[in-house]
Amino acid sequence: MAERVGFALVGLVLISAVAGPLLTGADPFATEVAAALLPPGAEHPFGTDHLGRDMLARVVGAARLDFGLAVAAVALAAGLGASVGAVAGWFGGWADRLAGWAVDLLLALPIYLLAMVLAVGIGNGLLVVVLATSVVNVPFFLRLVRTEVARQRRSPWVDAARMGGAADRTILFKMVVPRVLPLVAVQGTTNLGWAMLNAAGLSFIGVGVRPPTPEWGILIAEGARYLASGHWWLVVFPGLALALSVLAFHLTGDALRDRLARGPA
């Protein structure tokens, strides 16, 4: 049941990211001051914000940006983490020790502090969100690939490949790494949810994406100013979209991990 829910929610996120504006039929940037702060109704199912913009269009439209940022950050983290982890796990020694220190350092690095430092250096923008989010996700892939490659290195088939004359580089990148890639894909699916949450959190504190761009963190930050006056829909709907997206990728990642553990039917 959880697996089906996860796949269904991921499908909804993907549809929103690809065809968001077509689904709502409204412009997420169009303002109408006379219709400001309208509660959810037939014309505006998610209500309107303080500028009269349709909240449904903005919430659905934000899926494309948040999903795109998450994919870019996780892809960058997976590429860097898997590369370093493969080398560390295969050769061991000082490379493995350096990789272990790097993991400890990155795990202790607060993403918001890192994002602020990057913003000072290169200015606010999407690049800050991608870089900061990717850096904090690198340890997940590095540890996973490092451990799995080290385990594969001690396998009998690796010894047989060496006896057959295959070079270490050939064994690592043409035989071992392809066996590890499915695990990286599963880890990446799970990390997509956290990456979306990180991207929204950075936008919420004003680092990265800037208004009036529809983004879930920005929508929550803008709506929080009106929450005390009873305009709950400004926070609830983008917050719910973010929470369901994180849940979707976690459930899907768990389902893929279980299927991989069971092996082919």
pLDDT for 118 equals: 80
- Can you give the pTM of this predicted structure? 0.90
Q: Are residues 188 and 78 in contact, defined by beta-carbon separation less than 8 angstroms? A: yes
pLDDT for 263 equals: 61
Backbone φ and ψ of 36, nearest 5°: -70, 140
For residue 233, what are its two tokens? 């829909």
Q: Are residues 220 and 235 in contact, defined by beta-carbon separation less than 8 angstroms? A: yes
> Going by C-beta distance under 8 Å and a sequence separation of 6 or more, which residues neighbour residue 231?
37, 39, 47, 223
Q: At what angle do helices 177-204 and 55-91 cross, to 10 degrees?
A: 140
pLDDT for 86 equals: 92
Quick: pLDDT tens for 165-199. Answer: 888 888 888 888 888 999 999 999 999 999 999 88
Query: Could you tell me the domains of the chain?
Result: 49-262 (1.10.3720.10)
Report d(CA 204, CA 113) in Å as an integer.
14
Supply the DSSP string of 199-216, one letter for each residue: HHHHHHTTSSS-TTS--H
Amino acid at 33: V
Least Cα distance to 147 among 104, 84, 193 occurs for 84
Positive or negative CA dihedral for 139, 140, 142, 144?
positive
Q: 200-227: string of b/e by CB count within 10 Å (b at 16+)?
A: bbbbbeebbbeeebbbbbbbbbbbeebe
Spans in the chain with pLDDT lower than 50? 265
